[in-house]
């Protein structure tokens, strides 16, 4: 009996030990992390800490804030700018203020909240637009002043044609054709810094002839078309024609739109074609008038050039690059703004085909109405 109980006692001990080993094995097997569990954890951590491909490859967003699209040339600027920016992989948001500076500022604020990387501004009012620059810079957004300088602020770039030279070319051309006589100067919007620069260039071209008495300015010589509006230009030209009893030999109109208003007034007095009229922008209607002989000249500013370069500069600024072509500066009353100033071209009937049409700005069929 003692031997048998001892035997059974040994069996029980061995069985108990076996069950203990099995229990420990099960705890180890199911309690520890297996490779699959660890891999899922790694994946979760990776998703949290690594930026998504969308964030890495986020498309550059450019805001194009435009004074207005009423003038034909601005529609061309817009279309060429968008095409070039999209070719460079950027997205463009366009807003037109329809000639309202308050609306332009509100639209710019809206584009800032949409997260644009760069704002390209064609200001309605060169001083009021300073608020746009300040608001954009507060959010780390670069600003390009396009064609018109923004004053009393610190835009990152100004790209335009040499507007003082544009005015000089307008007046210089008419003076060569009519070195003596009565001149009427009709400026653009007085709130547009470009209009002031044009007048400065015009006066530089005419000053010697004015000092000698060869020419004189009629109607006080200082007239401006509100908002560059051809209807206001027509009204002011009619007033001056009445005041001078139609004794005008040349009208230095600062763009093609105002030139059109002046020519309409001249047509009402049967003077169209006998009074010299300048312009700017090489609008289709202006080119047609040059062919017809009612407008004397225009100043062509290759729009494809400024719009393309502005789009390229906007993308470069968004990437944090420097603009190598900004080799000049223009003082805006606060700073010397890094600038790209392009060269304008005098155009008359003699070189219209070789400049404007050859450049593809208009077709010959459209200009000559063939």
Tens of pLDDT along 64-86? 999 999 888 899 999 999 999 99
Q: What are the two backbone dihedrals, phi and then psi, of residue 2, each rounded to the nearest 5 degrees?
A: -65, -45
Cα–Cα distance for residue pair 93/81, rounded to 1 Å: 11
Residues 6 or more apart in contact with residue 315 via CB below 8 angstroms: 60, 62, 85, 88, 89, 90, 118
Q: What is the reported pLDDT for 72?
A: 83
Structure confidence by residue, pLDDT tens digits, 314-360: 999 999 999 999 999 999 999 999 999 999 999 999 999 999 999 99
Residue 2 confidence (pLDDT) above 50: no
SS3 content of the chain, % helix, strand, coil (to 5): 50, 15, 30
pTM for the model stands at: 0.76
Contacts of 70 (CB under 8 A, 6+ apart): 98, 99
Tell me what pLDDT residue 73 has: 87
| Extents of the domains making up the chain | 58-155+303-342, 163-301+348-368
CA dihedral 284, 165, 105, 89 (to 10 degrees): 70
Residue 13 pLDDT class (50, 70, 90 cuts): very low
Give Cβ neighbours of residue 55 (< 8 Å, ≥ 6 apart). none
Reported CATH class of domain 163-301+348-368: alpha beta
The DSSP output letter for 228 is G
Take residue 65 and report the two structure tokens written for it: 């804030």
Measured from the Cβ of residue 278, the count of other Cβ atoms closer than 10 Å reads 31
121: β partners: 65, 145
Fold match between domain 58-155+303-342 and domain 163-301+348-368: yes
Q: Contact 66/74 with Cβ under 8 angstroms?
A: yes
**CA-to-CA distance for 225 and 202, rounded, in angstroms?**
16
The CATH architecture to which 58-155+303-342 belongs is 3-Layer(aba) Sandwich (3.40)
The greatest distance separating any two alpha carbons of the chain, rounded to the nearest whole angstrom, comes to 151
Token reading at 268? 């009402």
167-218 per-position pLDDT tens digit = 999 999 999 999 999 999 999 998 888 999 999 999 999 999 999 999 999 9
């Amino acid at each position: 009996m003692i031997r048998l109980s001892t035997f059974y006692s040994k069996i029980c001990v061995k069985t108990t030990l076996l069950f203990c080993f099995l229990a420990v094995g099960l705890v180890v097997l199911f309690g520890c992390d297996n490779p699959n569990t660890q891999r899922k954890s790694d994946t979760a951590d990776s998703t949290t800490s690594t930026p998504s491909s969308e964030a890495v490859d986020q498309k550059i967003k450019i805001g194009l804030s435009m004074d207005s699209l009423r003038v034909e040339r601005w529609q061309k600027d817009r279309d060429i700018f968008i095409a070039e920016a999209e070719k460079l992989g950027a997205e463009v948001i366009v807003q037109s203020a329809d000639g309202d500076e308050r609306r332009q500022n509100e639209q710019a604020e809206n584009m800032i909240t949409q997260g644009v990387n760069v704002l390209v501004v064609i200001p309605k009012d060169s001083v009021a637009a300073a608020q746009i620059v300040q608001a954009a810079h507060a959010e780390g957004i670069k600003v390009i002043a396009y064609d018109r300088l923004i004053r009393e602020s610190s835009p990152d770039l100004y790209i335009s044609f040499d507007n003082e030279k544009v005015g000089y070319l307008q007046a210089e051309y008419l003076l060569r054709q009519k070195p003596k006589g009565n001149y009427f100067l009709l400026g653009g919007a007085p709130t547009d810094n470009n209009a002031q620069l044009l007048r400065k260039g015009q006066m530089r071209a005419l000053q010697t002839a004015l000092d000698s008495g060869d020419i004189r300015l009629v109607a006080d010589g200082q007239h401006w078309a509100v908002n560059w509006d051809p209807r206001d230009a027509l009204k002011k030209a009619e007033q001056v024609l009445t005041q001078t009893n139609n004794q005008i030999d040349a009208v230095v109109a600062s763009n093609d739109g105002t030139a059109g208003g002046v020519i309409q007034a001249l047509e009402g007095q049967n003077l169209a074609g006998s009074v010299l009229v300048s312009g700017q922008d090489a609008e289709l209607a202006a080119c047609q008038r040059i062919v017809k002989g009612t407008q004397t000249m225009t100043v062509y500013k290759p729009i494809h050039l400024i719009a393309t370069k502005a789009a390229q500069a906007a993308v470069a600024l968004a990437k944090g690059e420097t603009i190598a072509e900004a080799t000049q500066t223009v003082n805006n009353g606060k700073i010397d703004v890094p600038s790209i100033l392009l060269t304008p071209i005098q155009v008359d009937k003699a070189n219209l085909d070789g400049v404007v049409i050859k450049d593809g700005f208009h077709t010959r069929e459209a200009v000559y109405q063939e």
